[in-house]
Amino acid sequence: MSDAMSDTPSDENGIGIEPDAVAEDARVARTRADVSRAALEVLTGEGWEAVTHAHVARVAGYSKTTLYTHWPSRSDLLTMALEAIGDMPHHDLVGDVRTDLIGELRMLRDAIATQRLDRVLMAMAQWGATVAEIGRVRRRIVDDGEKHTRQMLGAVIQGPELEAAVSMLSGSVVCPTLMYGTLPDDATIEAAVDILLRGIELRGNER
């Protein structure tokens, strides 16, 4: 952290900005970035119950006191971890609804397997209900994750049908993960998409 000054943005105009304040802002910003990354690493690596001040401080290489000073509650750390999640992984759309829905579900499955998105989901489920800030971050993450699916299906169905369809597709991947501790294979993902497409009468004649 001693080299934080080197990253301090130069203050060319020198109007209304104290150099010390700029350095301090840069230091806090860097600390925040380091701690966010560490908190996300702990969250996906071990699960949200491991996201404590002591553990995240150790992983990030800061003192516990520094963490408590800036982010006094565990929900602050979890919020930062969730905010550090970039955009959700998405399949490159090819313009064929069946292919694209299967692609999106495979991406979700693979993100659970390799990035432990299931742990992210469980943290959001656990904390999103009671901590408003986490509820907001969850909304952003879920919206981003569902956006292609909602767009594709929203061209054909709306309202309760659309809500049901989106949840049914997510459920084909999320439910086996939570309920059996297994991920669906390709055949199961394809079966889910085919059931859905026949069910909403898009390509109702294909099998």
Instruction: Return residues touching its own copies (CB under 8 A).
Output: 47, 49, 118, 121-122, 124-126, 128-129, 135, 138-139, 142, 159-161, 163-181, 184-185, 187-192, 194-201, 204
Q: In the Cβ-directed half-sphere of 133, how many Cα atoms lie within 13 Å?
A: 11
Distance CA 163, CA 75 (A): 29
Minimum CB distance to its own copies smaller for 34 or for 190: 190
Q: How far is the CB of 72 from its own copies (least distance, A)?
A: 19
d(CA 48, CA 161): 33
Least CB distance to its own copies at residue 142 (A): 5
Comparing CB distances to its own copies, the nearer of 95 and 204 is 204
The CB-of-196 to its own copies minimum distance in angstroms stands at 6
- Quick one: 50 or 93, whose CB is closer to its own copies? 50
| Residue ranges with strand state E in the chain | none
Q: How far is the CB of 120 from its own copies (least distance, A)?
A: 11
C-beta contacts of 2-10 below 8 A and 24+ residues apart: 4/30
Identify the three-state secondary structure at position 136: helix
Q: Residue 94 or residue 187: which is nearer to its own copies going by CB? A: 187
Q: Which CB, 23 or 202, lies closer to its own copies? A: 202
- Confirm if 56 and 38 have CB atoms less than 8 A apart: yes
CB of 96 to its own copies, least distance (A): 18
| CA dist 136 → 40, 115, 129, 142, 184 (Å) | 17, 22, 10, 10, 29
H/E stretch holding 27:
helix 19-46
